[in-house]
Amino acid sequence: MNFFELIFKIKKRLIKFSIAEYIKGAWFARSMTKHGIIVVTGGKPAPRIFNDGGEIIVENCQFYQGVRLEVGRNAVIRIGNGTYLNRNTVVVAQEKVEIGKDCRIAWDVVIMDSDLHPISGRTLENKPVIIEDNVWIGCRCIILKGVRIGKGAIIAAGSVVTKSIPPDTIAAGVPARILTQNILQKNNV
């Protein structure tokens, strides 16, 4: 992207976001390995990054107050273009967490690829979390290690996702179970 394309994109987005939100985004992005245009909206507490030697790669995204990104040694957090993480969302990667493009993640969501400590008598096991494009995750959901959420899926508020969810599916509950499949076909989209 050249300088003039960047200026055009910023001017287009200025209609929606203020200069202060871009400045907060630039300040937040300084701790990322690679990033696009970052916007930070809302008040305090500001979003935070805890990096123990991994990579954080974020395209053009929006973060709200209280977001925490925690990445362990040699781990990766990757967030796609157009995604937003709402208030107090926590993403923890000890291996890999990938969030696709145009995902909508509500407030107080926890996404973790690790238990962070071993259970007595067992070794600590980390498994990647993959959230594909256009996924909606409702408030206060928990996405646990080893889960893949398919493109276009919707996870209802308060769900605990312990197993993978197929594309174009609505899932809800503790643990989350599939309520409706092929939602795009049912709505003739």
Give the pairing of strands 160-161 and 129-131.
unpaired
User: What is the distance between the alpha carbons of residues 85 and 62, in angstroms, rounded to a whole number?
Assistant: 7
Q: Is 185 helix (H, G, I), strand (E, B) or coil?
A: helix
The sheet carrying 48-51 orders its strands as 48-51, 68-71, 90-93, 110-112, 142-143, 160-161
Task: Report how far apart, in Å, the C-alpha atoms of 80 and of each of 11, 67, 96 are.
Answer: 21, 16, 14
**Which residue numbers are catalytic?**
117
Yes or no: say if 75 and 93 are a contact pair by the CB < 8 Å rule: yes
